[in-house]
Chain A
Amino acid sequence: MSRYLLRQVLGMVVLLLVTSFVIYASLFLAPGSPDALLFGAHTVSPAVRAAVNRQYHLNDPFLQQYWYWLTNVLHGNFGTSITYRTPVALRLTAAAPVTAFLVIYSSILIIVSGVALGVLSSLRPGKLDTFIMTATNIGTAVPTFVAGLILLAFFGVKLNWFPVYGAGAGFFDRLRHLTLPAVALAFWAVAYLTRVTRTSMREELQGDPVMTARSRGLSRRVVVQRHAFRNALIPVVTVAGLQVAGLIAGTVVVEQVFGLNGLGELLLTSVQDKDFATVQAVSLILVAAFIVVNTLVDITYTMLDPRIRLGANQP
């Protein structure tokens, strides 16, 4: 078990290193260079240009520049934004909490309601099941930005229940501000997770272990919990993990719709401004979050299915 964990974590670290390299390198391949951006249409003397290049290490070999960047990042220093002349870390600390709050809030909504609706649907065939399936059919067809605009128009503008703009300050104010964005973000995912949970539960309910459990006179609650739900969780965790990881990218859209200054918004504006250091930092954080979520999902598997642990122990 501990060997398996170690392998997972090691794999994660290697993957993070590789992605950091790819992210750093890809901006070198992008059109435009930092100094061209800085000076714009101004003509500057070669001496100034040389001084600037030295300050930002722009003339050093590529690998050396990458090394500077990486060691700084590991110390929490994401460099200085050339466009805004402010440390990137400062801009991140303003934006990251909004996105993190949004992603966690939305994940909870997705997992709790998706699993609950799916289980309910599988246990109550008939009208309720049909209703939930119809609703999720519509749900899976609605793109996030459409869901966002509809929620905004109805609950924000017409009913005036929730604020339409900004991220709020303090926990409860933020919760109120981020409810509509979180729901918009969760909309599609809840519908999908409900369907996956329902299918998985129905399969387990008709499976052999459930038949065995029923044959022993166990109560319905025990049969459903210990044998159907527990076994049905494996595909559910896979899908939920992918969805939570997908939310990290999905925030870019929702933050636009609801005017939130989160990481997605920051990424978009820094790309437009050709703010290299910020783009690198935000990309790295988003990708890292994605990788961490996936690793957590893998570790959850081993807790759910003992057969996966065996696979890890085989040479």
Chain B
Amino acid sequence: MTHLLEIDHLSVDLVTHRRYHKVLQDVSVTVEKAEVVSLVGESGSGKSMTARSVLNLLPAQGKMSGNIAFDGQSLMDSTSKDWQKFRATKAAMIFQDPRASINPVHRIGDFLTEALVHNRDMDRHEALERAATLLEQVGIDDARRRLRQYPHELSGGMLQRVMIASVLLIEPQLILADEPTTALDVTTQADVIAILDDLRAQREMAMLFITHDLELAAAFSDRIAVMYAGYIVEVSTPAQLHTRPLHPYTAALLRSRPMLHERTARLPQISGRPLSAFEAPPGCPFQDRCPYVQAQCGESLPQPQLIGGSIVRCHRASELELVSTAGAEGGQSHE
């Protein structure tokens, strides 16, 4: 069976201060047709880079290795024309901060229609007509007036809806959503996500959803991939992840969430600080912060193993029994 998107052993190096630094390390994840996969992780864990790699939108002089395939076709040998065509038709990205990403000097109507007009030679009036219909679907009233307005005349939540509409207009098979609600306030977040997920599901579009919010990811994804230091530590379904996390990092992350129903004097935290891929020691990137660390963890990068339907990269995954709530103190190992 071919996956809609298959990222396979992807590594990415970026240049900073004239030196190459690893930002992604051996990332493998798949997205099926109409499926939502969330990439969850701290800042700098490589979530956004993974999404940007799919569109080949790395910063200048970025190097990709490994494989990315769409619908069974590898994208790695694409020319820049092929990439353009791919972005114009198959996959589209929703950016984090619409205020920054939507060009402030053009009207909303021009922003929404430019891809249709320039890439598909659609008549401008027809494109505007479609844009107006879609604006109404994402919950913006008075769409025709909005089309003539400039981005600064709309609120952040409105603008993100415009961004979502612009992506849906392209009718891609895959949406890459890079923390689409981080720049919005909490009440609009919920609305915007609901609209995005609704319209996506109606159109049977798949989505790679990037967030640092585990709850949000759990609420509407089919699978969650947890990233740490530029590499995927665990891929699981939301239910499984919450009841039986397999990786010590996932478990620690789950335990450090505040609970709605219980009082906790102090939230547990993960000691140490998050690392970037290039800072990570040889072996498992999480070893320095892991309570279950052993000698073997420093020797080799753990390979993916399939345990109970989840994929995990931990040398000790099969022997550890981890819990996801702060109440139950720590995990017990079978030693």
Contact = CB atoms under 8 A, between A and B. Distances in A.
Contacts, number: 77
A264 to B, nearest CB: 38
Contact of B114 (A222, A230, A305): A222
A306 B102 CA distance: 14
A18 interface: no
Nearest to B104: A307
B103 A209 contact: yes
Interface residues of B, number: 29
Contact of A213 (B92, B103, B105): B103
B104 A212 contact: no
Given A208-B100, A230-B105, A307-B150, A215 B92 contact: yes
Interface string A208-220: 1101111111110
A227 B166 CA distance: 16
A218 B118 contact: yes
B84 A219 contact: yes
A231 interface: yes
A307 B103 CA distance: 12
Given A212-B95, A307-B152, A218 B101 contact: no
Given A211-B57, A306-B152, A216 B87 contact: yes
A312 interface: no
B10 interface: no
A208 B114 contact: no
Nearest to B89: A217
Contacts of B104: 209, 231, 305-307
Contacts of A217: 83-89, 115, 119
Interface in A76-114: none
A212 B170 contact: no
A218 B150 contact: no
Contacts of A231: 103-105
Interface string B268-310: 0000000000000000000000000000000000000000000
B101 A226 contact: no
A218 B118 CA distance: 7
Given A230-B105, A304-B105, A305-B105, A211 B152 contact: no
A211 B178 CA distance: 13
Given A211-B57, A217-B84, A307-B152, A227 B115 contact: no
Interface string A196-210: 000000000000110
A226 B95 contact: no
Contact of B95 (A211, A222, A304, A306): A211
A138 interface: no
Contacts of A37: none
A310 interface: yes
Contacts of A208: 95, 97, 100-101
Choose among B55, B83, B97 the residue with the greatest number of A CB atoms under 10 Å from its CB: B55
A217 B78 CA distance: 14
B177 to A, nearest CB: 12
Contacts of A307: 104, 150, 152
B158 to A, nearest CB: 16
Choose among B84, B92, B104, B105 the residue with the greatest number of A CB atoms under 10 Å from its CB: B105
Nearest to A227: B103
Contacts of A214: 57, 87
Nearest to A222: B118
Choose among A212, A215, A306, A310 the residue with the greatest number of B CB atoms under 10 Å from its CB: A215
Interface in B61-110: 83-89, 92-93, 95, 97, 100-106
Contacts of A222: 114, 118
B92 A216 contact: yes
Interface of A: 208-209, 211-219, 222, 226-227, 230-231, 304-307, 310
Given A208-B101, A212-B102, 11 more contacts: A209-B101, A212-B95, A212-B103, A213-B103, A215-B57, A215-B93, A216-B92, A216-B166, A306-B105, A307-B104, A310-B152
